[in-house]
């Protein structure tokens, strides 16, 4: 069962180049950064446009992946950090904020209606 809570360690890998891959491909990205994807840590990936978030975790001999995508003019909150690193340690509260607070990127045309006063 996929569970995320405050007791899990989270590492954030922002602006992933290719979000088409599944669990194994994302594990390869983690290994290329010198990390062990099977250490129980949850690794959080976001796409460049902030429309896709994937979280992977290896726990109790299970390979787990969570996938969430927004469409149209909605995206995830963009987390910003000081400096430029390939991996950031992410606190639970920031993960919750990122997943539960979508950002509206643009608003479509507004339709104006005129109502005539009744005589």
Choice between 117 and 48, residue whose per-residue pLDDT is larger: 48
User: Two tokens at 10?
Assistant: 């989270």
CB 59 within 8 A of CB 43: no
For the ranges 40-49, 65-74, 93-102, which has the lowest average pLDDT?
93-102
How do the domains of the chain map onto residue ranges?
Answer: 10-104
Predicted pLDDT of residue 34: 92
How far apart are alpha carbons 71 and 88 in whole angstroms? 26
pLDDT band at 82 (very low <50, low <70, confident <90, very high): confident
CB 77 within 8 A of CB 53: no
**What's the pTM?**
0.77
Chain-wide mean pLDDT for the chain?
80
**78: which residues sit within 8 A by CB, 6+ positions away?**
50, 103
């Amino acid at each position: 069962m996929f569970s995320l809570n405050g007791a899990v360690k989270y590492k954030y890998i922002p602006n992933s180049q290719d979000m088409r891959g599944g669990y194994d491909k994302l594990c390869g990205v983690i290994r290329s950064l010198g990390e062990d994807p099977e250490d129980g840590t949850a690794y959080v990936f976001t796409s460049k446009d902030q429309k896709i978030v994937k979280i992977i975790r290896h726990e109790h001999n299970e390979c787990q992946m969570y996938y969430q995508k927004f469409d149209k003019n909605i995206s995830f909150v963009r987390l910003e950090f000081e400096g430029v690193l390939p991996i950031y340690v992410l606190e639970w509260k920031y993960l919750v904020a990122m997943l539960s607070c979508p950002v509206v990127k643009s608003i479509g045309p507004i339709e104006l209606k005129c109502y005539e006063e009744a005589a």
